[in-house]
Amino acid sequence: MRRLIIAITGASGAIYGIRALQLLKDVEDVETHLILTPSGLRTITEETDHRPEEVRALADEVYNPKDIGAALSSGSFITAGMLVAPCSIKTLSGIAHCYNDELTVRAADVCLKERRRVVLLLRETPFHAGHIALMAQATQNGAIIMPPVPAFYHRPETLDDVVNQTVARALDLFDIRLKMTKRWKDETGAD
C-alpha cells in the first residue's frame, strides 16, 4: 500500500485537491492522508458545492493541520510523497524556507529530506520576482512546481475535463497512472 499525502491550502483551486481525493478513492493500492488547512476549508466553501465533512470522508486518514507531532511529521512514516493542491504562496514560502510551524509545511519538509516527491500545484498569477525566487528555492530543495496550467491537446469540453487532466498529470509524478489520462499522440489510451 502506497501512502500519498494530499494537502489542500487556501489558494484558489480547491477542486484540484478534492478531485485528487476522488480519483484516488478507486485506486486500490493508494492510501490518502489529508491535511486540510483552515484557509483550504474557506476556499472549499467559497468555490465549490462540497461540504468539508464530505471532503474529509474522501481520505483514508485526516490530520489536524496544527498537529506537528502527527505521523506525517516523521521520516519514519513512509509515504510516496505529497501533493499540495492547490498550493498557496504562503505554503510555498514555508516549504522554500523550511519554516515548519504547521503540519503542511512540516510534512513537505519531511518528504523533501527523505527524498520523496513533493508536487506543488501553485495557484497564483501573475508572478512577481519574490514568487519566482520562492519557486526556485523550493525546486532547489527538491519540490516540483506544477502550476495547474491547462493542456488543450486532449480537446477538453468541460471544466471537469481540464481539472481531471491536470490532476491526472500531477498523479503521474507519483507513478500513479489513471486510465482516464489523455496522453499526447497516444490513441490506445495505454500507460
What range defines the domain where residue 44 resides? 2-172
59: its cell numbers: 481520505
Q: Which strand (E) or helix (H) includes residue 82?
A: strand 81-87
Instruction: Assess if residue 183 is contained within a domain.
Output: no
Q: Do the domain assignments include residue 181? A: no
CA 69/CA 48 separation, integer angstroms = 31
CATH of the domain at 159: 3.40.50.1950
Q: What is the pTM of this model?
A: 0.94
CB 39 within 8 A of CB 67: no
In terms of DSSP H, where are the helices of the chain? 14-24, 38-47, 52-58, 89-97, 103-113, 129-141, 159-172
pLDDT digits (tens, 9 = 90+) for 41-82: 999 999 999 999 999 999 999 999 999 999 999 999 999 999
How many domains does one find in the chain?
Answer: 1
190 domain-assigned: no
pLDDT tens digits, one per residue of 143-191: 999 999 998 988 999 999 999 999 999 999 999 998 877 777 776 555 4
